[in-house]
Amino acid sequence: MKKYIASLCAVGMILMCFSGCALDLSGNVGDASITTTSRRNDSLSVVESQNDMPKQSYEEKLLYVTGTSEQIAIRETDEDNARSLGQLSLGDEVILVSADSVLYYCVLQESTGTQGYVKKAYLTDEKSAVCKGETCYTSKKTSLFDTKDSDHHEIQTLNTGTSVTVLAKTSGDYWFVNLNNSKTYGYVKCMDLTTTKPTSSKAATSTASKNTQLYTGYSNSVPANYSLYYAKVNTGYLAIRSAKAFDSSNELGKMYTGDSVYVVDTSTGSYWYCYSPVLGIYGYINSDYLVSSYPGANNGYTVWTVSVSSGYLALRSSAARANDTNVIGKLYSGNQVYVYSYSYNNFSDTYWYVYAPSLNKWGYVDSNYIYS
């Protein structure tokens, strides 16, 4: 009899499990499906936090590799010397993850599950615009513009015979090009380009300032005509934007008190169209936070500017070579530092004690890479 009752209990317990009910130790009946769902959700949250996040969690915008017949790297970070995670070939499709970086897109290569950074210059959102990177020449005097839109601004004038590399044959009247194998990119009217070098070719003459060589960036070209201004904010940063409005979604970059700004157009309302040499990009800046003279120039310090051929200049916590323990920030070409008169006793032959407004930090820098 006891075996019979035990058998009935066992069968009953099995039926209860299949019916979605469970008996807890207190004798109360609970919903087992809730427990199961909770565990399933927990496992999903782990998957979504890893590199193999499901495709639907990304912004569904496709980009295509263009402008080169060689493979290009997917890098771990948005720096030229960052570790390569994989390779992409002409026409390969990737999914846009983030466009926050100035020079790089963060993308997902769905076929391999690789997520990393690829230079913006070699990606296009138009599949029909993909090309190998064809060398062309300007057939007449023309202009290099910052966008292909009708409200574009001229970056510089190109003389007849100027050599460009067509990176993307974008729709409309303008193609995206790289100028003379430099770090200058922009749009040229495709009707003004030819694959045959004109016999009377003259070297392109840029009206850009010689200071262009000090800066790196997506445009890296000082405008032909500009007025020099400086950023001035009491706290935080001054944004350069892609539109004439205050919106966190249109921020292209951050500038800090003392950063120079080249104002190109003041007819655009309270937001002026400017070029930031520190960031190497064009955009709109709230003119309320721009001043025509260097802010606080007579407050006991001198202004020095960072100049590095590549990479960054380390801000250190000690007057010593950069290492894993003393680097407290990164400064790039065009960033400015303040050298205060009372900090001269902190100078060594190589390392100077400075204030970096872009980082809002004090520290030591190698004086060989700053100039007054």
Give the predicted TM-score (pTM) of the model: 0.48
- Judged against a pLDDT cut of 80, whether residue 104 lies above it is answered with yes
The separation between CA 252 and the C-alpha centre of its own chain, rounded to angstroms, equals: 8
- CATH fold match for the domains 56-125 and 301-371: yes
Q: Give the per-residue pLDDT at 106.
A: 94
Does the domain made of 301-371 have the CATH classification 2.60.40.10? no
- Judged against a pLDDT cut of 80, whether residue 372 lies above it is answered with no
Question: Region 98-125: what's the mean pLDDT?
Answer: 91
Q: Please give the structure tokens belonging to residue 186.
A: 């922009």
Provide the residue ranges of all domains of the chain, joining segments of one domain with +.
2-48, 56-125, 131-208, 227-286, 301-371
More reliable by pLDDT, 97 or 326: 97
Distance in angstroms (rounded) separating the CA atoms of residues 132 and 124: 13
More reliable by pLDDT, 235 or 100: 100
Q: Give the per-residue pLDDT at 262.
A: 87
Residue 128 pLDDT level (bands cut at 50, 70, 90)? very high
- CATH code of the domain made up of 56-125: 2.30.30.40
Q: Give the per-residue pLDDT at 93.
A: 94
Assign domain 131-208 one CATH number from 2.30.30.40, 2.40.110.10, 3.60.150.10, 2.60.40.10.
2.30.30.40
Among 51-55, 59-63, 228-232, 254-258, which stretch is predicted with the lowest mean pLDDT? Answer: 51-55
Contacts of range 194-199, beta carbons closer than 8 Å, 24 or more positions apart:
194/136, 194/137, 194/138, 194/139, 195/134, 195/135, 195/136, 195/137, 196/137, 197/137, 197/161, 197/163, 198/137, 198/139, 198/160, 198/161
Query: 322-351, pLDDT tens digit by residue?
Result: 777 888 999 988 888 887 654 555 566 688
- Count CB neighbours of 234 within 10 A: 6
Distance in angstroms (rounded) separating the CA atoms of residues 66 and 123: 6
Assign domain 227-286 one CATH number from 3.40.50.150, 2.30.30.40, 3.40.50.9100, 3.50.50.60.
2.30.30.40
- The strand pair at 251-255 and 290-291 is best described as unpaired
